[in-house]
Amino acid sequence: MRITKLLLPIVIVFCTSALATPPPAGPGDDELYRRGSAAIDAKNWNEAIDAFRAMAAKGGPNGDRAWYWLAYAQKRAGRPGDALASLGQLEQNYPDSKWTDDAEALEIEVRQSLGQQVAPESLDDDELKVLAITSLMHSDPERAMTLLEKVLVSPKSSEEVKEQSLFVLSQSSSPRARPLLESAARGKMGTDVQISALEMLGVSRRKENRALLLEVMQKTTDPKVKEAAMDGLMVSGDHESLFAIAKSNPDPDVRSDAAELLGAMKATNELDQLFKSEKNGDVRESIIDGMFVAGNVEWIATLAKSDADPKMRASAIEMLGPVGSRKTGDLLIQLWKSVTTRDEKEAVLDALFVQGNAKALIGLAKSEPDRKLRREIVERIAMLKDPEAQVYMMQFLED
């Protein structure tokens, strides 16, 4: 059974910026780097400038990062002209430096602080282009919108850059921003952009976004787009729409996905209603999965003991294993004594094995009269690294 991702990252660093924290000093770094790094951490910009200027003057293989951090400290100290000069030294003396990308981003920030607009079209690096467009939003939002749209539809733009562009759109108050975001969410800029846009819509939790997510989910035939739209509904907190999908969508896979997402939202009342009305076995198992994610152990335990369907009882029993032996170890022993089907017996053994419950398995092995079942128990004990299990296996081999 396919398990959907249940939680989306809510906090993402969307906008590219210059590196702002020096990497920790290593054993090969000299005292100047250590002193400069400590000064930046303490926001003592003048001391950092002195340390990194001295380090840069020494040259050598680490001179490039010295020039970078010197420029960074100069910018923070309110000396943008000096910062640009230091970045120029980095470019001149270390043209192939691994610090080039960070230096270019820092240069954009410095020039923007001076009121100098960097033309996004002149930049080769897409991430730097988005950074420049973000700044352009304040001075020329119409031009920024046009450039963002070009980044989104360009096959050369990376997925990360497109996500950054969508984030900029979602934060913009420009009248063109919302239509562009809706266009992306409806798939007019490609599937990859559509999926990112749907996830972005969920983060904002606006009512109109929920309506758009539901509309896209209902109209699309692409499973990945459906999944992204439902993920967006989950992130937006729209359990009502997910409940309706889980209850009435004709596709059992979609109902299963919706049930699992309801579990991530801890919508246990809705899941209980769904389980009582759902006829499809796979979907019912997904509802059990959702209850497990929601942490409703009591509901799962009741199901394991009393559901009319032995397959559902077995599925519920398996879910009792990861809960831990302290909470469900005794219950699993009781179930072993009361269950009658082979599937349920194996589910109990699997649950005890997942718990690493050597004591319980050894007790069952000693008391089980059925040779086949006893063999299955011993096989699980043999895979445990518990000292008690190892002692039992030695005794078992000696008998």
pLDDT digits (tens, 9 = 90+) for 288-327: 999 999 999 999 999 999 999 999 999 999 999 999 999 9
Same domain, 382 and 326: yes
**pTM for the complete prediction?**
0.68
Contacts of 203 (CB under 8 A, 6+ apart): 8, 10, 170, 235, 236
Q: Which of 14-28, 213-227, 383-397 has the highest mean pLDDT?
A: 213-227
Q: Is it the case that residue 124 has pLDDT exceeding 60?
A: no
Q: Is it the case that residue 133 has pLDDT exceeding 80?
A: no
Q: With respect to residue 190, please indicate whether it lies within any of the assigned structural domains.
A: no
Q: Which of 284, 316, 351 is the last residue of a domain?
A: 284
Model confidence pLDDT, tens digit, residues 63-117: 998 999 999 999 899 898 888 888 889 989 999 898 887 887 788 777 767 666 5
Looking at residue 116, its pLDDT comes to 61
Same domain, 303 and 398: yes
Report the alpha-carbon distance of residue 315 to residue 303 in Å, rounded: 9
CATH of the domain at 359: 1.25.10.10
Q: With respect to residue 387, please indicate whether it lies within any of the assigned structural domains.
A: yes
Looking at residue 166, its pLDDT comes to 87
Looking at residue 297, its pLDDT comes to 96
Same domain, 377 and 329: yes
Report the alpha-carbon distance of residue 255 to residue 176 in Å, rounded: 36
Q: With respect to residue 394, please indicate whether it lies within any of the assigned structural domains.
A: yes
Q: With respect to residue 316, please indicate whether it lies within any of the assigned structural domains.
A: yes
Answer yes or no: are the C-beta atoms of 158 and 147 closer than 8 Å.
Answer: no
Same domain, 376 and 315: yes
Q: Is it the case that residue 28 has pLDDT exceeding 80?
A: no
Q: Is it the case that residue 185 has pLDDT exceeding 60?
A: yes
Q: With respect to residue 127, please indicate whether it lies within any of the assigned structural domains.
A: no
Same domain, 257 and 327: no
C-alpha distances (whole Å) from 54 to each of 20, 48, 49, 297, 387 are: 20, 10, 8, 63, 60
Please tell me the least confidently modeled range out of 15-19, 122-126, 246-250, 304-308: 15-19
**Higher per-residue confidence, 216 vs 107:** 216
Same domain, 271 and 364: no
Report the alpha-carbon distance of residue 31 to residue 51 in Å, rounded: 9
Q: Which of 284, 307, 322 is the last residue of a domain?
A: 284
Sign of CA dihedral 359, 360, 363, 364: negative
Over range 213-217, report the average pLDDT.
96
Q: Is it the case that residue 378 has pLDDT exceeding 50?
A: yes
Same domain, 338 and 263: no
Question: According to the 3-state scheme, what is the secondary structure of 169-212?
Answer: HHHCCCCCHHHHHHHHHCCCCCHHHHHHHHHHHHHHCCHHHHHH
Per-residue pLDDT band for 140 (boundaries 50, 70, 90) equals confident
Question: In this structure, what DSSP letter does residue 120 have?
Answer: G
Please tell me the least confidently modeled range out of 134-148, 209-223, 345-359: 134-148
Q: With respect to residue 92, please indicate whether it lies within any of the assigned structural domains.
A: no
**Higher per-residue confidence, 385 vs 396:** 385
Same domain, 260 and 306: no
Give the count of domains, the chain: 2
Q: Is it the case that residue 122 has pLDDT exceeding 80?
A: no
Q: Is it the case that residue 3 has pLDDT exceeding 50?
A: no
**Higher per-residue confidence, 239 vs 108:** 239
Same domain, 264 and 336: no
Looking at residue 136, its pLDDT comes to 67
Q: With respect to residue 104, please indicate whether it lies within any of the assigned structural domains.
A: no
Domain that holds residue 280: 238-284
Please tell me the least confidently modeled range out of 136-140, 273-277, 342-346: 136-140
Over range 265-284, report the average pLDDT.
97
Answer yes or no: are the C-beta atoms of 89 and 103 closer than 8 Å.
Answer: no
Looking at residue 6, its pLDDT comes to 33
Same domain, 242 and 318: no
Same domain, 325 and 272: no
Q: Is it the case that residue 17 has pLDDT exceeding 60?
A: no
Following DSSP, what letter does each residue of 77-95 receive, concatenated?
A: TT-HHHHHHHHHHHHHH-T
Chain centre distance of CA 182: 23
**Higher per-residue confidence, 99 vs 264:** 264
**Higher per-residue confidence, 137 vs 118:** 137
Burial class (CB in 10 A: 0-12, 13-18, 19+), 349: buried
Q: Is it the case that residue 118 has pLDDT exceeding 50?
A: yes
Average pLDDT, the chain: 86
Over range 240-269, report the average pLDDT.
97
Same domain, 312 and 279: no
Q: With respect to residue 359, please indicate whether it lies within any of the assigned structural domains.
A: yes
Looking at residue 139, its pLDDT comes to 65
Report the alpha-carbon distance of residue 106 to residue 318 in Å, rounded: 54
Model confidence pLDDT, tens digit, residues 158-170: 787 788 888 888 8
